[in-house]
Chain A
Amino acid sequence: ATNNHSKMLKYRCSGCIAVGKSLNSRNFSKLLHSCPYQCDRHKVIVEAEDRYKSELRKSLICNKKILLTPRRRRQLSSES
């Protein structure tokens, strides 16, 4: 933990120090992901968001499969 701490002091989190025009909603997440020394704050947020994104991705793929399976589609139309 001490080692991590000294690293953090030397290499500050890019999510925290990056300011100015070049950053926006389109590139911020990638910048944060590519930063090897995320601060605790950004690390927690990124981890939570990544987990949420992968769950969402899974459910999207699931939904698509259900819609694309002909048998399932017939089922759906006969139900309605």
Chain B
Amino acid sequence: MFQGQRGWFCGSVGRELRQFWVAEGGSISDPRAADFLFSCDASHPDTLRIHQSLDYIEDNATVFHAYYLSAVANTEIKNSVALGHFILPPACLQKEIRRKLGSFIWEQDQHILIEKHDEI
């Protein structure tokens, strides 16, 4: 699924999700070279740095919640998960966005991870 794709992972992302990425053919890279930027916590210093980078300001660096990977892992048709539902906005914006929209989709998806933990 992720053959030939380079991914950067914030320190907030668990080992399981990184392993899934690699198992699906993805490689791990630094943030400048990465095709995908994954994080589980926008207030983590690694992700803060992305959200303050020139790449981000110039619309070249969208951070996605790493639960995208667990959503992919948990669906039959791996290509059917909409990446766009897993945007992780800067931490300082989340309160405002939540007030307007309710919870983020990746917050609603948390049960998927818990189910997976139970199996192991």
What is A's interface to B at a CB cutoff of 8 Å? 13-21, 23-26, 28-30, 32-33, 40-42, 44-45, 48-49, 52-53, 56-57, 60
Contacts and interface: CB of A to CB of B under 8 A. Distances in A.
Interface residues of B, number: 31
Given A16-B82, A19-B82, A44 B35 contact: no
Question: Per DSSP, are chain A's interface residues mostly helix, strand or loop, or mixed?
Answer: helix
Contacts of A41: 101
B108 interface: no
Contacts of B62: 25-26, 28-29
B81 to A, nearest CB: 7
Contact of B83 (A18, A42, A44): A18
A4 to B, nearest CB: 17
Question: Per DSSP, are chain B's interface residues mostly helix, strand or loop, or mixed?
Answer: mixed
5 contacts: A24-B36, A25-B36, A28-B64, A42-B87, A56-B57
A19 B97 contact: no
B59 A60 contact: no
Contacts of B52: 56
Interface in B40-94: 52, 54, 56-57, 59-64, 79-85, 87, 89-90, 92-93
Contact of A48 (B34, B79, B96): B96
B87 A45 contact: yes
B59 A25 contact: no
A33 B90 CA distance: 18
Nearest to A54: B57
Contacts of A57: 57
